[in-house]
Amino acid sequence: MKLRFAALATAAVMAAGPAMADLVVPNLSYRTGPYAANGNQYADGFNDYFTLLNERDGGIGGQKIQVPECETAYNTEKGVECYESTKGNGALVYNPLSTGITYQLIPKVTADGIPMYTPGYGRTSAKDGAVFPWVFNAPANYWDGASVSVKYLLDQNNGSLEGKKIALIYHNSAFGKEPIRTLQELGKKHGFTLTELPVEPPGQEQKSQWLQIRRDKPDYVLMWGWGVMNQAAIQEAANIRFPMENFIGVWWSGGEVDVLPAGAGANGYKSLTFNGVGQDYPYYEQLKQYVIDPGKASQGGPSIGSAVYSRGMYAALVIAEAIRKAQELAGTSEITPAQLRDGFEALNITEERMAELGLPNFGQPIVLSCANHGGEGQGRVQQWNAETKTWSLVSEFATPDAEVLEPLIQADAQAFAAENSITPATCN
Amino acid sequence: MEQLLYVSEIVVNGLMTGVMYALVALGFVLIYKASGVFNYAQGVMALFAAMTLVGIQQGQVPFAHLINALTGMHVSNFGWNVPAVLAIALTAGVMVLLAIAIQKLVLQHLVGQEPIILFMATLGLAYFLEGLGDVMWGADVKTLDVGLPQGISDAAEALTARLTGYGFFIDRLDIWAAIIATALVAALVAFSQYTKQGRAMRAVADDHQAALSVGISLKFVWIMVWSIAGFVALVAGIMWGTKSGVQFSLSLIALKALPVLMLGGFTSIPGAIVGGLIIGVGEKLFEYFVGPMIGGATETWFAYVLALGFLVFRPQGLFGERIIERV
Amino acid sequence: MIYREAGDFKTTYQADNQTFPLRLDRMGYYAILAVAFLVIPFVISDYWATSVMVPFLIYAIAALGLNILVGYAGQVSLGTGGFMAVGAYATYKLTTMFPDVSILIHVIVSGLVTALVGMLFGLPSLRIKGFYLAVATLAAQFFLIWLFNKVPWFYNYSASGQITMPERTVLGQIVTGPATPAWAKYLVCLTFAVALAWLARNLTRGTIGRKWMAIRDMDIAAEIIGVNPLTAKLTAFGVSSFLIGIAGALFFSIYLGAAEASEAFGINKSFLVLFMVIIGGLGSIFGSFAGAAFMVLLPVFLKNVLSGSLGWPTDLAAHIELMIVGALIVFFLIVEPHGLARLWRLTKEKLRLWPFPH
C-alpha cells in the first residue's frame, strides 16, 4: 500500500514539472486558511501580470514565463514543501507573501543561490545586501512603514509630535512585532509616547484593547494587522467612535476586504501603501484586451484593481523588470537564478519606465545596488471612502527617516551575520 | 473612583463577550448531552452556516467556481437578493439537511465507538466542511448584514454618564446578542420541557438504552439535535460574522468556546451560559489588571487556565453531571 | 504459511525477552533497518528528504510520544504543539548558550526539559479525566506558545521573535543549517526515530507499560490492585513529553531551521499528531509510524495529483484537498476505528494461512 502510494506520488511529481526552457517564477500562494481572502487577491494580481506578458509580448525577451502555483495555506511547512518541490524546475525567484515562510527560506535560498523578493514584508534587515545577498525587499519594509507613518503624523501636526500619545495595535507575531523598535526610537526622537497593544492571532476578540483605547484616548492609533484582525479592529474602532482619520494601518491592513465589513463606519480610515490602487491606469486597458476578455484572468478576475491585487501585480512587475535587466546583462534570454540576482542588483525602475508599462504615478522609482536591496523605502497614505467604496491617495510619497533606521538595520544585519557566521560581502 | 468605573465597564463588556462565547458553547453542549459526541466541528458549522446565509442572501451560485472550472461557463450570481428573514429560514433548512447527512453518513456508522474516535470523526468533519464551504461559496471575506445594529449604544452611554459621570461603552450588537441568546435558551428549555420531541431528547440524554427500550428513535433524536445545534451555529455565525465579516477565522471561535464548556460542564445548558459569563469577565479583568505587567495578549490562554483552576476543584465542571465510576 | 508464529523455540530467557521474539519479525525489521540505513541515504533527493522523509520521521517520534500518553496510558492530550515548542526553544537556548557541546546532547537534554514541563502540566490529570483533561491540556498549549512569544529571553531578544538554528556539526559533518545535505538530515532523524522506537517498545512491554495500560483500562481498578496512579500518570506524561520534546527539537533544528512559536507549533500541530495516533492505531508502535506516514504523505500526494496531474486551479485543488482529507479521516474511522495497525495485524493473520485459506 505504502509503496504504491509512493510510486503514485513520484509519478505525480514528475508529471508536474514544466518544460525546462521557460522562465519559471513560482507563485507560492495561499487560497485556503485564515488569510485566504488576501492571499487570493495577491496571487491573482501576480498571475495576471505574467499572463499579460505572455499573451501580449510572448514573455520576456522571447522566453515564455511559467508561473506554477503552489498552495502554502500561510503555513511554513507547506511553504518549505512548495519551495523544495519547485526549486528543481529551475525556479528563478520566490515571493512567498508570508513573513514566517520568508524567515524559513532565507537560509535555504542563500545556500541554493536563488533570489527571493519580499516587497513590503519579510525580514527588514535584508535591505543590507552585504549580509543578505540573495534577498531583496524593495520598495519598502516594515521599518520604513513605521517611519513613514510617523512622518505623515508629523506633517499633520506642523512638524511636532511632542507630548502626543500614539497607540500601536499589532498582530502578536513576528510580523506584528517588527515596527515596535523603530517606533520606540522615533518616540524618543520626537517626544511621543507609545502604547503597545498586542492582539493574539487570529484576533476576532479585541474588546479589551479597544476599551483601553477608549479610556486612554490616544491621539493616533497605528495598526500592524493581517487577516481577520483588520476587520475586527476597524469595526471596534468604528464602534467606540474613534476618529477614523487618526487610525492608520500598515499596507497589509489596507485592503478592501479589511474595511468593507465595517460598512459606513470605516469611512475615513487610512492606511499606508507603496502602490497605487484602482483601475485608472492604461495598464488595465491592455489587461482587458489580452487577459480579461479572452477569459484568461486568474480566477476569472473578481478582484482586479483592488489594493492587494495591485500589490501582487506590482511584485510581478518588479520581478519582470529584474528578469529583463538580467537578460540584458547576461546577453542571453535564458537566465539563471544567479544572473537574475545581478539583474535585481542593477535594477533601475524610473517613473518613465512605469509610465511605459502603463502604470504612471503608481509606484516610486526603484534603484537597487549591491549594498542596498531595499530601495528608498518610500510610502504614502491612502484613505477609504465608504460611500464610493474606493481608496484615494491623500499624501505624496514620503521618505523614511534614514537617520533612525540605518543604525537599526545595521545592528540587526550584523547580529544575523554574527549568529550565522556570515562574512558580509564587500560592495563597491 | 475612576478605576472602579473602568472596572465596571470592563465587567459589563466581559459579560457581553461571555454571551457571545456561550452562544458557541451551547451548540457543543446540546450535541454532547444527547449523543455523547464532542463535536469539534461546531465552529466550522457556524462558519458554514454564515457563509450559506450570505450566499443565499446575495444570490450567489453555489459551487460557481467548480462549475466554471469544469464546464468553462462563467456563472457567479443569480442576480437576485433574498430578504434576510427568508435567507435565515433557508439556511436553517440547509443546516437540517446537513444534520441528516451527518447522521446518515457518519454517526450511524460510528455508534458505540469510543468517545475519542467520535471526537476525531468530528475533526475530520470539520476539515470536510471547511473545504465544502470554500468550494461552495468561495474563500473571500464576506460582509454579513441581516439588519442587526452595531456600534456604541448612545442610550446606555447617556444613562451611565448620568448615573456615574462616565459613559460606558456598550456595543448594540452585544445587547442584541444577549437578547437573542436569552430567547434561544428560553426556547430550548421550553422545547425540551414541554414538547414530546423535547422529552425524547432528554430521555436519550439520560440513557440511550433505556430510551431505545421505550420506543424512542435514536436516529430521529440525533438528527433533531444536530439540526438544533446547526441552528445554534447559525445564530452564533450571524453574531460573529456581523462583527468581523464571514471568513475562515470564524471557525476558530470554537477554541474560545472550549474553556467555557470545561468550566460550565459539557452537559449543562445553564453551565454554558454561566461559564461563558465567568470566562468573559475573567479574561477581560485579567487582561486589565495583570496584562500590562506581563506583556498583554493573555486572553488566549487565560480562559483555559481559569477553567483548569476550577476543574481541579470540580472535575466535572460547575454544572456538569457528577462522574460516577464503578470498578 | 509465509508468516508463522509457531515453531520458533527459545532456550534462554534472554532470547525470549528480546525486542522481537519472533524470528520472522526480527528478520523483517532488520531488513527494513538495513534499507533505511544503508540504501536510502545514498539515493535520497532534496525534495524527498525535506518534504517526505524528514517530516515523516519527526512526526513518527511525536506520534510515538503521544501514543504512549493516549494509547497506552489513556490520557488524552491536545498540548502536543506546546510541548514540541518546549523542545525547540530548549534546543535553541542550549545551543546558543553552549555552542561547543554536541547538538545531539542538546536534543536529548531538550527532551528531558520537555519531560519536566510535561509532568508539570500532567499534574491536573490526577483530578481531571476524559475530555475535560483534553481541553485542560489546551491550557498548556496556549500558555506555552504565549510564553515563547512574549518573553524575549527565549528568542535571544531578536527583533521579530523568530528563532534561527545556527550551523552545528556531528563528527565533522554539518547536520543543521541550510548547507546540510539531505542524507545527513535524514540519518540524524532516522537514528533518533529508531532509538526512541526501541525505547518505547521496551518500555511499553515492561512493568511500567503494564501499569500505564492498567490505568488506561480503569484507573480505579488499577489503583486497587496496587498501581500508584500518581507515578503511573506522571511517568506517562514524562516519557511522552520526552519523545515529543525530541521531536520538537528535531523539527526546529533539522527540519525547519527557523521557527516562530505560534506559527510552527500551533494548535493544528496538536490535532495533526493526534490524527496520526488515531489513524495509525492507539497503543501501537507500528501504528505511530504508519499514521505519521499516512498524514505526511496524503496531503503531498493529493496536492500533486489534483493541481499537478489533473491541472486544476490551485485554490480549487486546495479546497477539495481539504474535503478529501476530512472525508478520508471519517471514512477510516468508520471502516477501521483501530487504525492502520489493526490492518497490519489482519494482514499477518491472512499471511499465516495464505495460500491455503480454509
Domains of chain A: 2-140+279-377+413-419 (3.40.50.2300), 142-273 (3.40.50.2300)
- The x, y and z cell numbers of residue C245, run together, are 520534546
Q: Whose grid coordinates read 506516514?
A: C293
Amino acid type, C349: E
Q: Does residue C64 lie in a domain region?
A: yes
Q: Which of C304, C313, C317 sits opposite A13 (nearest CB)?
A: C304
DSSP C191-259: HHHHHHHHHHHHHHTSHHHHHHHHHHH-HHHHHHTT--HHHHHHHHHHHHHHHHHHHHHHIIIIIISEE
What digits encode the pLDDT tens for the residues C22-77?
888 888 899 999 999 999 898 888 888 888 899 999 999 999 999 999 999 999 99
Query: What mean pLDDT value characterizes chain A?
Result: 88
pLDDT-above-70 percentage for chain C: 98
- Supply C250's cell numbers: 528535531
Q: Which chains touch A (3 or more CB pairs under 8 A)?
A: B, C
pLDDT at residue A138, as a whole number: 84
B62 CB-near residues (< 8 Å, 6+ apart): B55, B136, B137
Q: Grid coordinates representing A218?
A: 490616544
Residues of B in contact with C77 (CB under 8 A): none
Are A126 and A106 in contact by the 8 Å Cβ rule? The answer is: yes
Given this model, what pLDDT does residue C309 score? 67
Judge whether residue A46 has pLDDT over 90.
Answer: yes
Interchain CB contact of B248 with C (< 8 Å): no
* pLDDT at A17 > cutoff 60: no
pLDDT at A19: 44
**Mean pLDDT within A164-169:** 95
pLDDT tens digits along C151-171: 889 988 877 778 888 888 888
Give whole-number Cα distances, C326 to A112, A254, C138, C281, C301, in Å: 36, 34, 22, 18, 15
pLDDT per position as a tens digit, C268-295:
899 999 989 988 999 999 999 999 999 9
pLDDT at B265: 86
Q: Which residue of A has its CA nearest to C298?
A: A5
Q: Retrieve residue B233's grid coordinates.
A: 451555529
Q: How many CB pairs under 8 A join A and C?
A: 138
Nearest residue on chain A to B133, alpha-carbon basis = A32
**Nearest-neighbour CA in chain A from B23: distance (Å):** 15
* B68, B131, B249 member nearest A227 (Cβ): B249
Task: Return all residues near C340 (Cβ < 8 A) that are at least 6 apart.
Answer: C279, C280, C281, C287, C290, C291, C294
- State yes or no: pLDDT of C308 exceeds 70: no
Contact: C161, A173; criterion CB under 8 Å = yes
Q: Which residue from A202, A232, A299 is facing B243, i.e. has the nearest CB?
A: A232
Chain A residues within an 8 Å CB radius of B74: 295, 300
Low-confidence ranges of chain B (pLDDT < 50): none
Q: Interface pTM (ipTM) of the complex?
A: 0.89
Kindly report which listed range (A267-281, A379-393, A412-426, C48-62) carries the lowest average pLDDT score. Answer: A412-426
Considering only CB atoms, A12 lies closest to which of C299, C305, C313, namely C305
**Tens of pLDDT, residues A232-245:** 999 999 999 999 99
Q: What share of chain C is helix, strand, coil (3-state, %, to 5)?
A: 75, 0, 25
Give CA–CA dist A38/A54, Å, rounded. Answer: 25
| Domain with C236 in it | 48-266
Burial letters for A299-312: b for 16+ Cβ neighbours within 10 Å, e otherwise? bbbbbbbbbbbbbb
Give the pLDDT of residue A15: 42
Q: Structurally, how many domains does chain C consist of?
A: 1
In this prediction, residue B262 carries a pLDDT of 86
Task: Answer positive or negative: Cα dihedral of B307, B310, B314, B319.
Answer: negative
Q: Given the C-alpha cell 524575549, which residue does it identify?
A: C152
User: Cell 476578540 identifies what position?
Assistant: A205
pLDDT tens for each residue of C124-136: 988 888 888 888 8
Q: Is residue C340 part of a domain?
A: no
Contacts A227 to B, Cβ<8 Å? 247, 249
- Residue whose C-alpha is closest to residue A109's, from A270, A337, A326, A336: A337
Q: Tell whether A410 is within 8 A of chain C (Cβ).
A: no
Q: How confident is the model at residue A398 (pLDDT cuts 50, 70, 90)?
A: very high
Question: Is the pLDDT assigned to residue A160 strictly greater than 70?
Answer: yes
Q: How far apart are CA A418 and CA A416, in angstroms?
A: 5
Does residue C290 fall inside a structural domain? no
> Is residue C273 a part of any domain in this protein?
no
Beta-bridge partners for A196 = A168
pLDDT above 50 for A9: no
User: Coil, helix or strand for C159?
Assistant: coil
